[in-house]
Each structure stands twice: as C-alpha cells, then as structure tokens.
Structure 1
Amino acid sequence: MASPDPTSPRSGPIAWMTHHTVAANLVMLIFLIGGLVIMTNVKQEVFPEFKVDQIRVSVPYPGASPEEVEQGIILSIEDVVRGLDGVKEVTAAASEGRAKVEIELLDGVNADNVLQDVVNEIDGIQSFPELAEEPIISLAEVRNQVVTVLVYGDQEEQTLRDVAERVRDDLLQRPGITLVELGLTRPREIAIEVPQRDLRAYGLTLNRIAREIGEAAIELPGGGVKTPGGEVLLRTQERRDFGREYADIPVASTPDGAIITVSDIATIRDGFEDVDQEAYFNGERAIQVKVFRVGMETPQSVSQSVRAYLEELRPELPDGIGFAMWNDRSEIYQDRMNLLLKNAFLGLALVLLLLGLFLDLKLAFWVTVGLPVSIIGSFLFIPFTGASINMISLFAFIITLGIIVDDAVVAGEIIYQKREQGLPLVQAAIAGAREIAGPIMFAVLTNIAAFLPLFFVPGALGNFLMQVPSVVVAVFVVSLIESLFVLPAHLAHTRELSGFWKRLDRPRQWFS
C-alpha cells in the first residue's frame, strides 16, 4: 500500500486541520475555556514563593557585649556546624545581647535532615554561658507580605502597642486574612530593681532573688493521672506576664518568721527592652502591623479587606493615635497587571488596524484572535510548571506579547499571498502554512532555547527566576499550535465579503 504523499493537499496534520474546521474550533475553545477556568484558580501573589536553602540560628544572651557573644556563642556554633554534610557556608553576626548565625546549604540536599543535624550538634554544646538562653533554630522562609499598617501617635509605647494588638487581633478575625504579625516592636521587659541596702539588710544576693523569681514564674508539665473517666493531664502554671504579678513572690524571711516578698525590697516596672531598631512615622513613634498572603488568598483581596477594616476602625481610635497603610504591594501587582493588559490591548489594536489596512479585514480579525488565545491557552500548562500569577510571570507574559504576534502575522501574510496568486482559499491556507511551518518552528525553538538556561540557575535566584521560562515556553507552544493549525483553518473557510464588511473593506482596497 502506497504511503500518502506529503505534498498532497489533504495529507499531513496541517491539511487535516484545515479541512476539519470543527477540530480547529474545538482546539481554540479548549485553549480559551480551559485556560480561563485554570486562570481563575491559579495562585495570585506579588512575588513567587520559593524555598531558601538556609538555616537560621538565633541565641539571646541578655546583657552581653558583641565580643562576649562572639567568644561565648558564635565560635562554638561555627565549630560544630561547619563540618556537617550539606553545609555550604556559615556566616554569623554578633550584636549586643544576641547571636545570629546563617547556615547556607548545598543545592539538592534534604534541608530537613540538615536542620536536624544542626539541632543535634548545637544542643550538644556544653560551653554556652550560663545566662545564654535556648537557641532558636529554624529553616529560613520567605513569606508574602502584602501591606503594612502603621499605628502611630504621640502616646506612650504601651498605649500604641495595645492599639496595634487590637488591630492585629481584629484583622485575624476577618475572612480572607490568615497571618498578621507585629513588627519593629520592642520585647516587653519587667525590671525588678533592688537597692544594695536592702540586699545587705536581709542578707540577700541578686542571684538568689533571680533564682526565687525564676522558680516561681515557670510553667511545668506535671504528667498525667489515669482515672476511670480517662487520663487527666497535670500542669503547674505559674507564668507571670506583668510586673504586678511578681510582687507577692517570697524571697526571704525574718528571724521572727515574717515573709519578705519582692515588693517589700524592690521596685517593679513594666517596660520594654532597649533595641537597635525602632519605627517612626512623621516624627512620631509607630508600630508595624504586617499582613501576609497565605495559600490562595490574593494580594487585592487582602489589601481591600485591610482597607475596609481601617475605615471601620477610624471613628474608634483614641485621641492622638492614627494609622496609615504603607508599602501596599497589591498596588505594585495591580500596576504590573494593568501594564500587561494595556500592552495587550495596544498590540491587538495595532495588528487589527495594520493588517486590516494592508491585507484583509477577516484575516486581520483571525490573526488578532490568535493573540489572546495563545496567552489564555498557556494557562493549561501553568499548573504543571508550578508557576503562579505574580510580578515575575506577568513580566514574562509582557515579553511574549511582542514575540508571538510575529508568528501569527507572518503566517497570515503568507496565506494572503497565496490567495493573491490565485489559489483557492483552502489550498492557499494549506500551502501558506506548510511554507511557513519550518521557519516558525525554528524561530519558536530558538526563542525557547534562549530562555531554557533560566531553568538551571542554582540557588534561591534560580527558584525565583524559574517563573520566566515556565511562562515563556507555555505561551510559545500554544502560539505555535494556533499559528500552524488553528489559524489556517479559519482563513481557509472565510466567505467573500458582502454587505457591511464589503463597505468596510473599500477604504482598504483603495489604500492598497
């Protein structure tokens, strides 16, 4: 049996699609409807989520100088973690009262396993100073902050903090907001000051008082007791969060049996620690309330919910306290989205105008339709790449707009040329698409090859930039299918212009 002739008007995928317009229309509808459905369910964020291969260690050391922090904590941590498998580099910073160590991991290692190794090694250090607190060890994470609310005013810091905590708690109760944190707040501090004369009078030392307070202000699990009704968990709860709660702690007794409490010998004050960073807005002290996007929440929905809440809160604010929205990243996101839509609209208008003016109105229409089909259809592949709608992927869509229009214009022009040479519509569409198939495929493959190296950029930067080739490749593939298989089918079955379309085409005929 003889094989089909590839030069035959009815052989090959291009000819088959050209003759079967239902199939071409079905492909176009799959791209449009499927892409729109997936587009509405794709995660929207300002910047893409990505993993940072880094472990962070923080060790509070109250009252220590940077030199003491380095000698007592940092050097010990560096010694035990540098030789661990999967560790690439260790950097540390010593500041007053705190040690910070960042451990960068090698590409491809299991971060959870390395984290456990780091925890085990640091827990085994016996040389930490006595006053050093428990190390805080965690994998670094990048969170999607949307907006910051500044609570400011010429008021006491505690008053500002109370309002900021109310704002935080209220926002967490609103639908569509999951994560809210306070920022640039000074940790609370309870100062207990004991005069030297009272220490001498009762034969006390600061260490003894600190020990008595520490033992009375802890929260300890007490195990469980099994009863006929089930197991009852026991807990000794003596946690104290405010200065007044420390007043009745006994620290000594007199020879006649009288109990001496903290309030008898000390001045107790609620205050805040001295830190290196503080927030001010318009010259007044401020506290940040940071609002983050989580899961499928969108930047716009989070920002709108925050704005609506602040309008409700405005009449209830105490005198002398105000608020302001700062660093609203949803506006940046919306600006990039508007830029994409503006460029797309201008591109479509120019293609429709110029092709309609120089070639043919219906040809211009179908070429123009191919552009949104390519962009929207690319969302069919987006879920498989892990990409989302964000600043980086929107930038990639903007890049592709100026490239994919060339494929459709060239294919449409060649088909128009074949028609001008006297070929019937169907044969002109097939011949034109076949003639341009090779150059278009090589052009698309060349463009894809130019972006492929971004898939192999290592580290956090590679995770960040991976959105660009993911989007570009998806758009180019859909554009190639549309230009070679869908567009010829539409151009092959256009009817002769009549009525309104014929009158509309007269200026084009005169111009040509």
Structure 2
Amino acid sequence: MARNSIAANLLMFILLGGGIWSAVVMQKEVFPQFQLDVVEVEVAYPGAAPSEVEQGILRPIEEAVRGVEGIRELISEAREGRGEVLIELVAGQNRMKALQDIDQAISRIRTFPDQIEQPEVSLQTRQQEVMLVALYGPIDVWELRKLAEQLRDQLQSHEKITQVELRRVPQYVTHIEIPRQRLREYGLTLSEVANIIRTNSQDVAAGSVQTSAGEILLRVKGRKQWADEFAKIEIVAGQDGPLVTLGDIASIRDGFEEIGFHSQFSQTPAVELNVYRVGSQSPIEIAAAVEETMQDFETILPPGVKWRIDNNNAEEFKRRLGL
C-alpha cells in the first residue's frame, strides 16, 4: 500500500509539474490563429458608376480567372469608383501558386477601361489585433496625420511591437492647377502635362493621375515626392528657349482627399492606429509596451490632443486566463 501511495503522489507531482510547464511555454492567444484561403482583387475606377465598374472591371476579371485551377467561389462587389473580387480557394490549394496564377491572368486582360488604376492582387490574412490607439484633438488634419505617423514609428521601434497600421486616415493627394491661358501659351493640353508628370515621377507610377476642369489630381502610394519636388519637373525643354518647369505654369499644393474621411472623437478629428501581434508574441507584453510608449509620447503631444486605447484584446486574454 505504501508503495502505491508513493507512486500515486509521484504521478500527481509529475502531472502538476507538466501542467505548470505547459502553461508557461504554451503560445498565448486571444483567438486561435489561422490562415484564409482567399485572394482579393481591388481595382479603382475613378468617377465610374457601379454599373460601369461591373461591366468594365468585374466581368473581365471573372472571365479571366475562371480557368485558374483551385478556385472554389467568386464574390464580386461593384461600388462607386471601385470594384472588388474575393476569390475563395479550394481547401489545401497552394495559396502562393494560386495568387501568382490569378495575378498573371488579370495582367493579360486587355479590355480594361483606360481610366482604371493598376489592379491590386493580394492574399488575405487574418491579422491578430491586440488593441486600437486613437489620437484626437482640435488640430489640423494634416498635423494629426503626421503626429499619427510619428507615433506609429515610435511604437514599432519598441522591441515588443512589430506591426502597427494607420486606420481611418485621409489619403495624401497633390493638387496641380494650371490656368488655360498658361496651357495655350505653351501649346499644351492638360492631358499632355499629366503624361509628363506620370513619366517623370517616381511616385505616380504606383498611383493615379486624374485631369478635370483645369486641375490635375495625384494619388500616390509610398509617397516620396511632395509639391516642391513636383514643381521641378521640366514641362518644356530649354534647347531653343527658356526652360519651363511645372512650378512656372501651375499652382501646386499638397493636401488630403476629403471624401470618405469622417473619423471623429468628442467632435474633434481623430486618427486610429491598429496594433497587431505577430507569430508567438504575447498580447499582454504588447499591451504593456504600448502603454509604456504612450506615456513617453504623451509628453510631446500638442495642447488639446489626447489619446485613448480601445478594443483592448489583452484585457480579454487576461480574463480568459483567469477562468
């Protein structure tokens, strides 16, 4: 009997020790992590009605990808100025190969309207959001966005934080206004000037150029150029006459696209930043790192600008650990 009692106690301690060890080393998540087998195709068609988006974008894409192996279902949506196609893959399909095949199929389409932007083809992923940080206050939206970008960089410089994304922020645009008289003076059209800008800009190739009523509107991604750099673009070569730059004939200003930006908190402009966990990162450690960073960042905030944390999944994780 004594031997059995000792063995039972030993087994109990082994199981207890194993449980403690598992609790320490086990990857801690608020929700299970998994991958989505969905390819997303987005195409901007500025100024187009939903019916034009359906005819000019969605139907050609649906026809082009129909022959790609491993597609389970297509879901298309046409909106004002934009079309989206979600392509669900068969379970177990090679996701990267399917992404490449779909991208190549779309690149072969020759019937797209000239006004569309470059189609964006990407693999959807399930991001693990830890929390949302909001900056808000009675300051200019331009300054608020720059402040949010500064905060994003400071958060990502912390060793515990890997991924932070701006959310609900207005997009940068550059407005270029050229009087008709100036165009006539140099024998130019607005479209010709837009093409010169497109050819000479390192940014515009990844964005879009629109022309209307004497104005050129530039939407770009990964912006490296601002109004003063665009002003230096040569419009008329100076071989037999004076060199004419864009700044000589146009009024150029940087700004934001106002459409679609309505984020406010306490009736003041607001910008949000999503903080995500990557791989085996702990949501509790990330939350602590955010709090630490925000305490430092708070000291440089302009008067009236405040911050708050919402959707704190680290708190939910702590609650579940306590169950």
TM-score range, shorter chain: 0.7 to 0.9
- The aligned amino acid for 2:126 is V
Shift, 1:195, TM fit:
1.7
Give the alignment partner of residue 149 of structure 2, picking from 140, 165, 177: 165
Other-structure match for 1:36: 20
What are the ranges of 5 or more consecutive residues in structure 2 without an aligned counterpart?
204-222
Other-structure match for 1:89: 73
Output the CA distance in 2 between the equivalents of 1:181 and 1:291.
7
- The answer on 1:298 being equivalent to 2:282 is yes
Other-structure match for 1:271: 255
Output the CA distance in 1 between the equivalents of 2:174 and 2:54.
27
Other-structure match for 1:23: 7
Structure with the bigger percentage of strand? 2
- The answer on 1:148 being equivalent to 2:144 is no
Output the CA distance in 2 between the equivalents of 1:39 and 1:176.
21
Shift, 1:242, TM fit:
0.6
- Percent identity, aligned pairs only, is 38
TM (norm. structure 2) is 0.87
Other-structure match for 1:445: none
- The answer on 1:74 being equivalent to 2:87 is no
The total of aligned residue pairs comes to: 304
Q: Secondary structure at the match of 2:54?
A: helix
**Quick check: 1:195–1:266 contact (8 Å CA) kept in 2?**
yes
- The answer on 1:244 being equivalent to 2:228 is yes
- The answer on 1:52 being equivalent to 2:36 is yes
- The answer on 1:182 being equivalent to 2:182 is no
Output the CA distance in 2 between the equivalents of 1:214 and 1:140.
30
Other-structure match for 2:103: 119
Q: Secondary structure at the match of 1:20?
A: helix
Q: Secondary structure at the match of 2:235?
A: strand
Larger gyration radius, structure 1 or structure 2: 1
Other-structure match for 2:187: 203
Q: Secondary structure at the match of 2:139?
A: coil
- The aligned amino acid for 1:267 is S
Give the alignment partner of residue 258 of structure 1, picking from 242, 245, 250: 242
Shift, 1:255, TM fit:
9.6
Output the CA distance in 1 between the equivalents of 2:238 and 2:34.
63
Output the CA distance in 2 between the equivalents of 1:112 and 1:265.
48
Q: Secondary structure at the match of 2:51?
A: helix
Shift, 1:40, TM fit:
0.9
What are the ranges of 5 or more consecutive residues in structure 1 without an aligned counterpart?
1-16, 220-238, 341-512
Root-mean-square deviation over aligned CA pairs: 2.2
Output the CA distance in 2 between the equivalents of 1:206 and 1:124.
30
Structure with the bigger percentage of helix? 1
Other-structure match for 2:45: 61
Shift, 1:241, TM fit:
1.8
Output the CA distance in 1 between the equivalents of 2:166 and 2:179.
36
Shift, 1:43, TM fit:
1.2
**Quick check: 1:240–1:246 contact (8 Å CA) kept in 2?**
no
**Quick check: 1:194–1:265 contact (8 Å CA) kept in 2?**
yes
